Every structure is written in C-alpha cells, then in structure tokens.
Structure 1
Amino acid sequence: MDSWLDHWPWWVQVALVILLLVISAFFSITETSMMASNRHRLRHLANRGNKGAKNTQDLLSRTEELLSVILIGNNVVNTIVPVLLGAIALHAFGNNATVLSISTGVSAVLIIIFCEITPKVIGATFPERIAMWVSWIIKPLTVLLKPIMWLINVFVSALLKLLRINTKDTKHSQMTRDELRSVLLESHFIPHKHRNILLNFFNLEEIQVDDVMTPRARVEVLDLSRPIDEVIHQLETCYHNKLPVFDEDSDKIIGILAVRKALSLLGDEELTHEHFREILSPSYFIPSGTPVLQQLQYFQENQERIGLVVDEYGVVQGIVTIEDILEELIGEFTTSLPDLATKTKWLPDNTYIADGTATLRDLNRLLSLDLPLDGPKTLNGLLLEYLEDIPDNDVSVRLEGVVMEITQVDDQIIKTVKIYRPNGS
C-alpha cells in the first residue's frame, strides 16, 4: 500500500480518511434512524404523499436487505480506515511497531466518536427526519449490492441451517396489554384526558358489574302495592329516568318503569295501578361477576340501557346502567342532582364524611386512596369484614394506612364514616 500512497499528496490521503469516516458515520446514522423511526408517523406522512416516508416504509418492510446493505457498507469502511491510517502513519514516521500501535488506537477512537456514538445519538434524536433523507441513497444501494447480499445470504442461510435455526417459523412478538399501557402512559402526543380514557378502557377488562353497580340498598324502587297517591307522589319527586318496580314482594322485581312515560298518565283522574303495570318494560337481569366490557357489548346487542345484577340464587344485588360503565371511561357525569354532593373532596380539616354504602372504587378515585378492591365492594362491607362484628358508634380503625371513624350505625348497617386524610394523599 506504501507504493501507491507515495504518489499522493498528504492532504489527499487525509481527505480520503475523512471521507471514509463520513461514509461510516452515514451508515451508522442510517441504521439508528431507520430502526428508531415511528412506523405510525411514517404511515401518516406516506398517506399524505411524502415520497421520503414511502421510501422509508419500503425499506423497513425489507429489514433483512436494509440491514445487509448498512452492515456491509459500515464494516467494509471501518476495516479500510485503520489499514489506510496505519499506512499513512508508517509512511510519515517510519516502519515502527509503536507507530503502528498508535495509529491503530487513533483509528479506534475516531471510529467510536465520529462514526458510532455521535451519529447514532443524532439518528435517535431525529429518526424520521433523517430516515426519510437517507432513504434516497440507501434504496438504490439495495439494488446495486443485491448480488453481494445474495452471496452473503447463501452463507448465512447455510450457517443457520447448521445451527438448526428456522427464522421463517419465528413470529413477530405482539405488544401485550401492559406494554401498550406503558406506551400510553409515556406518550406525549395524546392529550391528557384522551390518554386517561384509553387507560380506563383497559380497566374494563379487569372489573365486573359488581364493581360499578349501584348496590340494592341505594336503589330507588317503586312499590305498586302502596296507595296510588303515594305512587304518584314518588313519581313526581323522582330524579331517575327509570325505576325498578315490585308489588309487595321487594325481592321480586316485576319490571322497569319509564318515569317520563308514567308522568304522561298523571292527568287521568281514574288512574290506577293497572295503568302503570301496562307500561312496564321487562326486567333485564345480569349475572353477578359479568365483566364490564362484556356487559357493555351485551347492552349494545340487546339495545338495553339498564340491568338488574342478580346472584346465583336470583336475588337482586344492585342495578347497573350503561351510564355507570361510561363513567368508568370518561369520568362521572354531573347531571344527577343527588350525586352533586358527592363531588366534594377533602374538607378544610382534612377529613371526609362518607356514606357507608359508598363504593370503594368511587372513594379511591375521589380521594386518591388505595383501599382494597378484591373483597367487599362498599365501605360498609369493608369495615364489617375487618371488624367481624357490627360496631357501635365512635369506633376507629386503620385500614391500608387510612384512619376511619364510624360515626353512625343504623339497622345493622354502618351509615356514616369519617375518613381522615393520609399523609401525602
């Protein structure tokens, strides 16, 4: 190599080394930018007519060819640079082992700094922008180097067969639900509220109708065995659109009454209980333990908006509506007057007065607590399970780091609980 270098000026030799370093850096920045590019953003740009994005998509669809071109070019250049730099050093400083060692070390430093780390950091910082630019150069190279790639792939395929590795049977790993959840949490291109809705959608697969239903004790029902005047008064003061109806036996729901339709009958002076029975809709029952996402699909398929949750013995446990499920996705609605009082959070003295029938999920969401959800669904049920007895008033307990004081017990049910705000909540 000394013979042909002797005829070249020193600045030409140095320029050749710099050119090779630039080519090596080009292949490094290409590899990183291509692999780090957002496929969805490229697809969006390609659909809008960006030719660079289309080229990049085409190259990424042929990953083996893309990587072959990059690795061939990068490794050939990185092999030539130390040899050329060593020859220049020997020509300038004489044939000496020390000179050769120093030139090899300098080559390694130059390649690591200027051809590996720096270009790859830049490529990872602006992946799509750089990938679309370099694709105009890499795409023709995949055609020019096809014979070389074919020859190399013949040896690679033979080696893989020798190692009994079948790449055709390997399937691309799909993103798991937890991985997708992590992507959403770390994404900055989705608005905060929209991101919360998407995250809540994943939770629908983990919760049951029992977690979102209104418990039986808090459900307003209509008893048609009562005098007609009392029935009419209840309908006139009712806040709900629909009411479950029973006749004497409170455990046997005979149908669902649309309040608006019932109010249209109130002008009739000869109004009787039978008029209300005639406009009842059949009850729609939901087995306890039904997943919320599955129930949302059932509501859609059956064109229902309200259902009665029943246990294995057919006893009504509560009521769930399509609005209850939607609240899990987009947050609670504020159109129901009785629920407005529950929007108040911590009081100035860092306490909260909770109803014993309040669900643990609502309390966790409203007060940023971490009460257990794998057992009882209500605050009353949680306290009774923990105490294993019906307590008297003014009993205090600590659960999951939360101090709670039972302030009112009535009819074997904990009616009111004062919750003390935990430190850091």
Structure 2
Amino acid sequence: MMIAMASIAVLSGIASVLFAAADGALEACCGGQLPSVLRRYESPDHRDRVQRSVAIARLASNLVTGIAVALALRLNSAPFGWALVSAITAVLFLTLVTEAVPRAVGESHRIAVVIFLSPLLTVVEILLRPLVALELRLETHTRASGISASVASDASTKEQFREVVAASPDVSRDEREILRGVFSLKGTEVQEIMAPRIAMIAIESLTPWSEVLARVRSAEHARIPVYQGSIDRIVGILYAKDLLPAVIEGVTPVGGWLSLVRPAVFIPEGKRIDVLLREFKAAGNHIAIVVDEYGGTAGMVTIEDILEEIVGEIRDEHDREELPIEMEHGGKFWVSGRVSLEDLSHAIGQRIGNDDAATVGGLVFSVLGRVPRAGEQLVFDGFRVVVERVVQRRVDRVYFERDAAWRERTA
C-alpha cells in the first residue's frame, strides 16, 4: 500500500512539475519568438484557454500528490502533532519542488519548454475543454450579474476622478488632455483613427527594385504595405530598415526584394484601440491592416495612431506644420477631414453629430450626398462650413465659422 501511494505521488508530482513549467513558459512568451506551427500560443485568447486547462490539471495533480503523500506517510494514523508538522513540511517541500522551481525554469527557458511540452498542452486542452467552457460561462454570468450594479458606480468614479484632476492646480492643460485621451481609449474603435485606404502608401509586388527604393525614399515611412494586383490583396509589410544592407552594398537582395517582406497583421474595423494596443505590445508589432466586413482593405493603423489619441499629434521632421484643428478668435476653425466628430465637438464646445459619419470628411459627404468640390459651402448646426481642400475625392481640409444667424440669436 505504501509503495503504491509513493508511486502515485511521484507520478502526480512529475505531472505538477510539467504543468507548472508550462504555465510559466506560456506566461513569459513574447510575440514572434515561437516557430510558426506553435504561433497559436501567442494569441491572447488561445493562450488564456490553454492556461486555464493547465491550471485545472495542476490543481488535480497537486491534490492527488498531497493525498498520496499523506497516505504513504500514514499521517491519518499518526499522532496529531507529528501529523501536523509532517503535513506542513510536505506542503512546503512540494510547493518548492512542483511549483516555484519548475515555474522559474519555464519562464527562463520559455521557448524550449513550450516546444517540448506542446503535445502535452494539446492533449490537456482537448480533454479539459468542457471544464474550461463551463468555467468561462460561469465567469461571464458572474460578471454580467455584477455589471449592471457596478456600471453606474464605475462611471461616477471616473467622472469624479476627471473633476478632481480638472480642478487640481498642479495638473497642466497638456496633462489633462493626456488623461482625457487615456479614458477615451476603451470607447474608440480602429476605424475612427485608421488611415483610410485612399491615403495608404503601398507598393505593388511586381515593382522593380529600383522603383521600390525610389518609393521608399519618397514615402519616408518606416513600414510600407505590399499588395498583389489590388490594394485589397495585401501580402505583407516591407520594413525600410530591411533594405539597408542591400542599399549599402549597392546590390539587389538575394531572392529578390519580396524575400524581405514580413507577414502582415489583419484586424477588423470594430476592434477597440485599447485591445489593439495591448496586442501590439505583446507581439512587438507596430502596424496592422484594417479589413472591412467583406474582407477588403479599409485602411491601416499604427501604434503611433493610438499613442496620438493619448498624447495628441506626434510630429517628426517630415510632418507638415498643419494642426488637425486650428482655432481663431471669433469662432473660426480650420479642421482636417480626418478629425473625429468627437474631437471637433470637444474643440468648439458644441456637439457636432451625425449618425452616418464619424469624421469631419464623412460629415461633409453625408450632408451633401456626393463627392464635394473645393470651395463648396453648407450650413450645419449653426456653422457655415467651407470645403477648403479635396485630395483624390477625399475631404482634406474644412473651414468652420459660426453662422451669422446663430450670432444674431445668441447676441
């Protein structure tokens, strides 16, 4: 009996060691480090399901190990004092041997551990999938039952925090704007900040090497999408830094310049930018192609676009000195067509809204019902609106001025 229990304790202890090492390795995995066949473990959703399965397996194996050790040492028949001391010693020893050490090893050798244990992880995930699904369902139900009671309190807390920050003399205007940007991340979707397809600079896959170099120099971008035949068929991203060795040596890259193209990341228009920022950080990626509901290219978004939602416009030596929103005394505003209606409303102190549009350019299209011409005027929500600049059927710059009739009514 004692030998059988000892054997069970050893086997279940080995299982606990493997599961702890796997959990530590999965927790420490970073984007782009695993082979392509195991890249699924870098997906946050898939990794979460696997880690839940591993946690259940660890709990079961630790429980079996503890019971087997207790029976092997015959603690149930030993005096209470001896049984207590033995149990505490066994727990500390098992925690060190089956938890702390294996987890540290998994974190420090994460790639090798994930590769070595991937068959075991696959089996555990499949076997425990029903339990994980039940756990997720219970968790969702618990959160849903508590959300309705906490939403009002959460919103009130955030509003109170904003008011405290706004009233503090130690917080500058720029710092207030940064905090406003942070709070707005969760409610902002990718389609609101992306560069639309018409504004994308991309390279066709059949472009000769000399023209590729010329295009990269003129674009002055670090990353350029590459497409095949149509912009809707993006095949990857060309990094300007990958061209440097060939440019310095004055030769064509071995295997052609397409061999330098890296895989592209595709995301839906409705993805929240706070989620995308976390994915960018986890994968070490800085650019993603945005696709519409039909699978076509809607635009592209970079990590700089997200950071600009927090800190405002980021300029480099190549950017033109033209602010997204320029204000002049007397209620005059010059606005980029890409500015969101929410940002415009915040700048002018009045809500400018339209259910069919999210940006200033979209608003002009929605009101006119056609492609506008430069110089066209319209009146909207107490403003005289002038389309100042149109580039390739895209509204690039718009002028807003308080309408005279509105001024008479408010005088």
TM-score of the aligned structures, taking structure 1 as reference length: 0.52
Shift of 1:222: 2.0
Alignment partners' CA distance in 2, 1:238 and 1:253: 18
Identity of aligned residues (%): 24
CA distance in structure 1 between the aligned counterparts of 2:344 and 2:161, rounded to whole angstroms: 28
Confirm whether residue 204 of structure 1 aligns to residue 182 of structure 2: no
- Give the counterpart of 2:156 among 166, 172, 178: 178
Select between 365-374 and 203-212 the one with higher mean Cα deviation: 365-374
Aligned match of 1:215: 196
1:398 aligns with 2:376: no
Provide the secondary structure at the position in 2 that maps to 1:237: helix
Aligned to 1:386: 367
1:330 and 2:311 are equivalent in the alignment: yes
Cα displacement (A) at 1:243: 0.9
User: Match for 1:176: what amino acid?
Assistant: D
In the alignment, structure 1 residue 224 sits paired with structure 2 residue 205: yes
How far the C-alpha of 1:405 sits from its partner, in A, is: 1.5
CA distance in 2, matches of 1:317, 1:329: 23
Structure 1: unaligned runs, 5 residues or longer: 1-170
Aligned equivalents of 2:379 and 2:254: distance in 1? 50
Q: 1:251 aligns with which of 218, 232, 247?
A: 232
Aligned amino acid, residue 156 of structure 2: D
Write the letter of the residue equivalent to 1:198: L
Q: 1:285 aligns with which of 266, 275, 288?
A: 266
Question: Which segment drifts farther, 218-227 or 360-369?
Answer: 360-369
The 5-angstrom pairing of residues 153-168 of structure 1 reads none
Q: Are the equivalent residues in 2 in contact too, given 1:211–1:361 (CA < 8 A)?
A: no
Q: How far apart are 1:357 and its partner, in Å?
A: 4.7
Does 2:171 correspond to 1:191?
Answer: yes
Residues 1:332 and 1:338: Cα distance change in structure 2 (over 3 Å): same
1:186 shift after superposition: 2.9
1:185 partner amino acid: E
Residues 364 and 372 in structure 2, CA contact (< 8 A), matched pair in contact too: no
Change (3 A) 1:412 1:322: closer
The question of 1:345 aligning with 2:334 is answered no
Aligned to 1:303: 284
Report the alpha carbon displacement of residue 283 of structure 1 after superposing the two structures with TM.
0.5
Contact 2:286 2:303 in 1 (8 A): yes
The residue that corresponds to 1:263 in the other structure is 244
Task: Give the letter aligned to residue 184 of structure 1.
Answer: R
Distance 1:255 1:344 in 2: 34
Measured in 2, the distance between the counterparts of 1:273 and 1:395 equals 53
The answer on whether the counterparts of 2:352 and 2:381 sit within 8 Å (CA) in structure 1 is yes
CA 1:368–1:408 in 2, change beyond 3 Å: closer, same or farther? Answer: same
CA deviation string 1:271-307 (max 9, x = no partner): 1695321121110011111112122222223222211
> For residue 238 of structure 2, what is the amino acid of its counterpart?
L
Between the aligned partners of 2:151 and 2:268, the Cα distance in structure 1 is 36
Q: Which amino acid aligns with 1:182?
A: Q
Alpha-carbon contact 2:325-2:334 (below 8 Å) kept: no
Q: For the Cα contact (< 8 Å) 2:378–2:385, is it kept in 1?
A: yes
**Paired residue type of 1:277:** L
1:115-126 alignment runs, 5 A limit: none
Q: Which string of whole-angstrom CA distances, capped at 9 and with x for unpartnered residues, describes residues 17-37 of structure 1?
A: xxxxxxxxxxxxxxxxxxxxx
Return 256-265 or 333-342, whichever deviates more. Answer: 333-342
Give the AA of the match of 1:323.
Answer: E
Bigger mean CA offset, 389-398 vs 187-196: 187-196
Secondary structure, aligned partner of 2:398: strand
Is the CA contact 2:264–2:289 (under 8 Å) kept in the aligned structure 1? yes
Residues of 2 paired with 1:339 and 1:359: CA distance?
A: 20
Q: What CA deviation, in whole Å up to 9, does each residue of 1:21-54 have, x standing for no partner?
A: xxxxxxxxxxxxxxxxxxxxxxxxxxxxxxxxxx
Larger radius of gyration: 1
For 2:256 and 2:344, how far apart are their aligned partners in 1? 41
User: Matches of 1:405 and 1:185 in 2, distance apart?
Assistant: 36
> Is the contact between residue 403 and residue 419 of structure 1 (CA under 8 Å) also seen in structure 2?
yes
Post-superposition shift, 1:245?
1.2
Separation in 2 of the partners of 1:173 and 1:407? 43
CA offset digits 1:184-240 (Å, max 9, x no partner) = 323445623444433322211111111121222222212232333222112123322
Gap change, CA 1:308 and 1:198, over 3 Å in 2: same
1:377 aligns with 2:358: yes
Displacement of 1:351 after TM fit?
A: 4.8
SS in 2 for 1:252: strand
Residues 159-190 of structure 1: CA distance to partner in whole angstroms, max 9, x if unpaired? xxxxxxxxxxxx99994223322233234456
**AA of the residue aligned to 2:160:** S
Residues 324-379 of structure 1: per-residue CA shift (max 9 Å, x gap): 11221222212252253236723689755555455445555666664327542333
C-alpha change, 1:392 and 1:175, in structure 2 (3 Å) is: closer
- For 2:245 and 2:155, the matched residues in 1 are separated by 49
Distance 1:334 1:368, change over 3 A: farther
Secondary structure of the residue that 1:281 maps to in structure 2?
A: coil
Task: Describe the shift of the 1:318–1:211 C-alpha distance in structure 2 as closer, same or farther (beyond 3 A).
Answer: same
1:379 partner letter: V
8 A Cα contact 1:228 1:273, kept in partner? no
1:15-164 to 2 correspondence within 5 Å? none
